[in-house]
Amino acid sequence: MNMNPECIFCKIIKGEIPSHKVYEDTDVFAFLDITPINPGHTLIIPKSHTENIYTISESDFEKVTKIVKKIAIGIRKGLESDGVNVRMNNEKAAGQDIFHAHIHVIPRYKNDGYEPWHGKKGVSPQDLRKAAGKIIDSI
Q: Are 85 and 108 within 8 A, CB to CB?
A: yes
Inside any domain, residue 2: no
- Domain count across the chain: 1
Inside any domain, residue 111: yes
pLDDT above 90: residue 1: no
Rounded CA-CA distance 129/126 in Å is 5
* CATH label of the domain that carries residue 35: 3.30.428.10
Q: Are 58 and 105 within 8 A, CB to CB?
A: no
Cα-Cα-Cα-Cα dihedral of 27, 30, 33, 37, to 10°? 120
pTM value > 0.85:
yes
Inside any domain, residue 64: yes
Q: Which domain holds residue 77?
A: 8-138
Inside any domain, residue 1: no
Catalytic residues: 102
Inside any domain, residue 37: yes
Cross-strand partners of 86: 105
Residue 27 amino acid letter = D
Summarize pLDDT for 88-135 with one digit per residue, the tens.
999 999 999 999 999 999 999 999 999 877 888 888 999 999 999 999
Q: Nearest 5°: CA angle at 39, between 102 and 54?
A: 10
Inside any domain, residue 3: no
